Structure 1
Amino acid sequence: MSTLVGTGHKTMGSVAPKLAEISDAVLFGDIWERAALSKRDRSLVTVAALIALYRQEQLPFHLSKAVEHGVTREELTEVVTHLAFYAGWPAAASAVKLLESL
Protein backbone atom coordinates (compact mmCIF):
# COMPACT_ATOMS: atom_id res chain seq x y z
CA MET A 1 0.00 0.00 0.00
CA SER A 2 1.16 3.51 -0.78
CA THR A 3 2.81 5.72 1.80
CA LEU A 4 0.44 8.38 0.48
CA VAL A 5 -2.69 6.61 1.78
CA GLY A 6 -3.94 8.56 4.77
CA THR A 7 -2.87 11.90 3.31
CA GLY A 8 -6.46 12.75 2.41
CA HIS A 9 -7.62 12.01 5.93
CA LYS A 10 -4.80 14.08 7.46
CA THR A 11 -5.23 17.09 5.20
CA MET A 12 -9.00 17.35 4.84
CA GLY A 13 -10.67 14.62 6.84
CA SER A 14 -12.15 16.89 9.49
CA VAL A 15 -13.71 19.25 6.93
CA ALA A 16 -14.52 16.99 3.99
CA PRO A 17 -14.46 13.37 5.20
CA LYS A 18 -15.94 11.84 2.03
CA LEU A 19 -13.45 13.69 -0.21
CA ALA A 20 -10.66 12.51 2.11
CA GLU A 21 -11.94 8.93 1.90
CA ILE A 22 -12.10 9.03 -1.91
CA SER A 23 -8.67 10.65 -2.13
CA ASP A 24 -7.14 7.95 0.04
CA ALA A 25 -8.90 5.04 -1.64
CA VAL A 26 -8.87 6.09 -5.30
CA LEU A 27 -6.10 8.64 -5.80
CA PHE A 28 -3.50 7.40 -3.33
CA GLY A 29 -4.63 3.78 -2.98
CA ASP A 30 -5.24 3.04 -6.66
CA ILE A 31 -3.94 5.64 -9.12
CA TRP A 32 -0.57 6.18 -7.43
CA GLU A 33 -0.13 2.38 -7.18
CA ARG A 34 -0.62 1.56 -10.87
CA ALA A 35 2.43 -0.22 -12.28
CA ALA A 36 2.57 1.50 -15.69
CA LEU A 37 4.41 4.51 -14.20
CA SER A 38 6.83 4.56 -11.30
CA LYS A 39 6.11 6.82 -8.34
CA ARG A 40 9.10 8.88 -9.50
CA ASP A 41 7.50 9.42 -12.91
CA ARG A 42 4.11 10.11 -11.36
CA SER A 43 5.73 12.72 -9.14
CA LEU A 44 7.34 14.44 -12.13
CA VAL A 45 4.02 14.50 -13.98
CA THR A 46 2.16 15.76 -10.91
CA VAL A 47 4.68 18.51 -10.18
CA ALA A 48 4.60 19.62 -13.81
CA ALA A 49 0.80 19.74 -13.83
CA LEU A 50 0.66 21.68 -10.57
CA ILE A 51 3.19 24.21 -11.85
CA ALA A 52 1.40 24.58 -15.19
CA LEU A 53 -1.99 24.99 -13.50
CA TYR A 54 -0.53 27.36 -10.88
CA ARG A 55 -1.68 25.21 -7.97
CA GLN A 56 0.77 26.72 -5.48
CA GLU A 57 -1.03 25.38 -2.42
CA GLN A 58 -0.54 21.74 -3.48
CA LEU A 59 2.96 22.14 -4.87
CA PRO A 60 5.08 22.03 -1.65
CA PHE A 61 3.66 18.64 -0.66
CA HIS A 62 4.29 17.18 -4.10
CA LEU A 63 7.77 18.68 -4.40
CA SER A 64 8.67 16.90 -1.14
CA LYS A 65 7.10 13.67 -2.33
CA ALA A 66 9.00 13.95 -5.62
CA VAL A 67 12.28 14.11 -3.70
CA GLU A 68 11.17 11.12 -1.58
CA HIS A 69 10.42 9.27 -4.84
CA GLY A 70 13.93 9.87 -6.16
CA VAL A 71 13.60 13.08 -8.18
CA THR A 72 16.60 15.33 -7.61
CA ARG A 73 16.47 19.07 -6.96
CA GLU A 74 18.38 19.52 -10.21
CA GLU A 75 15.67 17.63 -12.10
CA LEU A 76 12.93 19.66 -10.42
CA THR A 77 14.75 22.86 -11.36
CA GLU A 78 14.95 21.63 -14.94
CA VAL A 79 11.21 20.91 -14.97
CA VAL A 80 10.54 24.46 -13.76
CA THR A 81 12.89 25.93 -16.37
CA HIS A 82 11.28 23.89 -19.14
CA LEU A 83 7.78 24.85 -18.04
CA ALA A 84 8.61 28.56 -18.03
CA PHE A 85 8.15 28.43 -21.80
CA TYR A 86 5.03 26.25 -21.81
CA ALA A 87 3.18 27.29 -18.66
CA GLY A 88 4.41 30.86 -18.33
CA TRP A 89 7.15 32.76 -16.63
CA PRO A 90 5.15 33.73 -13.51
CA ALA A 91 4.21 30.10 -12.80
CA ALA A 92 7.86 29.06 -13.11
CA ALA A 93 9.12 31.94 -11.00
CA SER A 94 6.64 31.07 -8.25
CA ALA A 95 7.70 27.41 -8.37
CA VAL A 96 11.36 28.46 -7.98
CA LYS A 97 10.44 30.18 -4.71
CA LEU A 98 8.91 26.93 -3.47
CA LEU A 99 11.96 24.93 -4.57
CA GLU A 100 14.15 27.12 -2.37
CA SER A 101 12.43 25.69 0.70
CA LEU A 102 13.32 22.07 -0.12
Structure 2
Amino acid sequence: MSDPHQTRAQQLIGDFAPKLVDLTDNVLFGDIWERTELSPRDRSLVTVASLVTSSSTDQLRGHLIRARANGVTETELKEAIIHLAFYAGWPKAMTAITVAKELFAV
Protein backbone atom coordinates (compact mmCIF):
# COMPACT_ATOMS: atom_id res chain seq x y z
CA MET A 1 0.00 0.00 0.00
CA SER A 2 1.34 3.44 -0.90
CA ASP A 3 2.15 6.14 1.63
CA PRO A 4 -0.58 8.83 1.50
CA HIS A 5 2.03 11.47 2.35
CA GLN A 6 3.94 10.78 -0.85
CA THR A 7 3.24 12.64 -4.07
CA ARG A 8 1.72 10.68 -6.94
CA ALA A 9 5.11 10.67 -8.69
CA GLN A 10 6.78 9.31 -5.55
CA GLN A 11 4.15 6.57 -5.33
CA LEU A 12 4.48 5.59 -8.99
CA ILE A 13 8.22 5.77 -9.67
CA GLY A 14 10.01 7.11 -6.59
CA ASP A 15 12.14 4.04 -6.04
CA PHE A 16 12.83 3.61 -9.77
CA ALA A 17 13.53 7.14 -11.06
CA PRO A 18 14.05 9.54 -8.13
CA LYS A 19 15.44 12.32 -10.35
CA LEU A 20 12.29 12.33 -12.50
CA VAL A 21 10.24 12.50 -9.29
CA ASP A 22 12.34 15.45 -8.12
CA LEU A 23 11.80 17.28 -11.43
CA THR A 24 8.09 16.49 -11.40
CA ASP A 25 7.48 17.55 -7.82
CA ASN A 26 9.85 20.50 -7.52
CA VAL A 27 10.12 21.96 -11.02
CA LEU A 28 6.87 21.08 -12.79
CA PHE A 29 4.41 21.23 -9.89
CA GLY A 30 6.54 23.24 -7.46
CA ASP A 31 7.55 26.00 -9.89
CA ILE A 32 5.80 25.92 -13.27
CA TRP A 33 2.30 25.21 -11.96
CA GLU A 34 2.73 27.90 -9.28
CA ARG A 35 3.65 30.74 -11.64
CA THR A 36 1.10 33.55 -11.53
CA GLU A 37 1.16 34.48 -15.21
CA LEU A 38 -1.57 31.89 -15.89
CA SER A 39 -4.27 30.88 -13.45
CA PRO A 40 -4.42 27.24 -12.34
CA ARG A 41 -7.68 26.98 -14.31
CA ASP A 42 -5.99 28.16 -17.51
CA ARG A 43 -2.99 25.90 -16.92
CA SER A 44 -5.38 22.98 -16.53
CA LEU A 45 -7.15 23.75 -19.83
CA VAL A 46 -3.82 24.04 -21.66
CA THR A 47 -2.52 20.85 -20.08
CA VAL A 48 -5.67 18.85 -20.84
CA ALA A 49 -5.57 20.07 -24.46
CA SER A 50 -1.94 19.04 -24.78
CA LEU A 51 -2.59 15.61 -23.30
CA VAL A 52 -5.57 15.06 -25.60
CA THR A 53 -3.56 16.00 -28.69
CA SER A 54 -0.72 13.68 -27.71
CA SER A 55 -2.96 10.77 -26.67
CA SER A 56 -1.41 10.76 -23.20
CA THR A 57 -4.38 9.07 -21.57
CA ASP A 58 -2.60 7.94 -18.40
CA GLN A 59 -1.70 11.53 -17.52
CA LEU A 60 -5.03 12.83 -18.86
CA ARG A 61 -6.91 11.05 -16.09
CA GLY A 62 -5.12 12.92 -13.32
CA HIS A 63 -5.25 16.24 -15.12
CA LEU A 64 -8.99 16.00 -15.76
CA ILE A 65 -9.42 15.60 -12.01
CA ARG A 66 -7.01 18.49 -11.39
CA ALA A 67 -8.88 20.63 -13.92
CA ARG A 68 -12.16 20.06 -12.08
CA ALA A 69 -10.44 21.02 -8.80
CA ASN A 70 -9.11 24.15 -10.53
CA GLY A 71 -12.61 25.27 -11.52
CA VAL A 72 -13.01 23.89 -15.04
CA THR A 73 -16.48 22.44 -15.39
CA GLU A 74 -17.31 19.03 -16.80
CA THR A 75 -19.17 20.79 -19.63
CA GLU A 76 -16.13 22.93 -20.47
CA LEU A 77 -13.84 19.90 -20.51
CA LYS A 78 -16.19 17.97 -22.79
CA GLU A 79 -16.46 20.99 -25.08
CA ALA A 80 -12.66 21.34 -25.21
CA ILE A 81 -12.34 17.69 -26.24
CA ILE A 82 -15.05 18.09 -28.89
CA HIS A 83 -13.28 21.18 -30.22
CA LEU A 84 -9.96 19.32 -30.35
CA ALA A 85 -11.48 16.53 -32.46
CA PHE A 86 -11.12 18.82 -35.46
CA TYR A 87 -7.54 19.83 -34.69
CA ALA A 88 -6.01 16.76 -33.03
CA GLY A 89 -7.97 14.04 -34.79
CA TRP A 90 -11.13 12.12 -34.23
CA PRO A 91 -9.54 9.01 -32.66
CA LYS A 92 -7.68 11.10 -30.06
CA ALA A 93 -10.86 12.96 -29.13
CA MET A 94 -12.87 9.74 -28.93
CA THR A 95 -10.27 8.21 -26.62
CA ALA A 96 -10.14 11.33 -24.46
CA ILE A 97 -13.93 11.62 -24.18
CA THR A 98 -14.10 7.97 -23.13
CA VAL A 99 -11.56 8.65 -20.36
CA ALA A 100 -13.55 11.72 -19.29
CA LYS A 101 -16.81 9.75 -19.27
CA GLU A 102 -15.27 7.11 -17.01
CA LEU A 103 -13.94 9.73 -14.58
CA PHE A 104 -17.06 11.89 -14.51
CA ALA A 105 -19.36 8.89 -13.95
CA VAL A 106 -17.91 8.42 -10.47
Structure 1 length normalisation: TM-score? Answer: 0.91
Who is 1:78 aligned against? 79
1:19-38 to 2 correspondence within 5 Å? 19-38=20-39
Pairwise CA distance, 1:9: 1.8
| Structure holding more helix per residue | 2
* One-letter amino acid of the counterpart of residue 14, structure 1: D
Distance of 1:59 and 1:74 partners within structure 2: 16
1:23-102 residue pairs with structure 2 within 5 A? 23-101=24-102, 102=104
Counterpart-to-counterpart distance in 2, 1:10 and 1:40: 25
Structure exhibiting the larger radius of gyration computed from Cα positions? 2
Q: Deviations over 1:8-37 (max 9, x none)?
A: 223321221111011111000000000000
Q: Which runs of 5+ in 1 are unaligned?
A: none
Residues 38-94 of structure 1 show CA distances to partners (whole Å, capped at 9, x for unaligned) of: 111000000000000111111100000000111000000110010000000000000
**2:65 alignment partner AA:** S
TM-score by length of 2: 0.87
Which 5+ residue runs of structure 2 have no aligned equivalent? Answer: 1-5
Q: Which residue of 2 aligns with 1:18?
A: 19
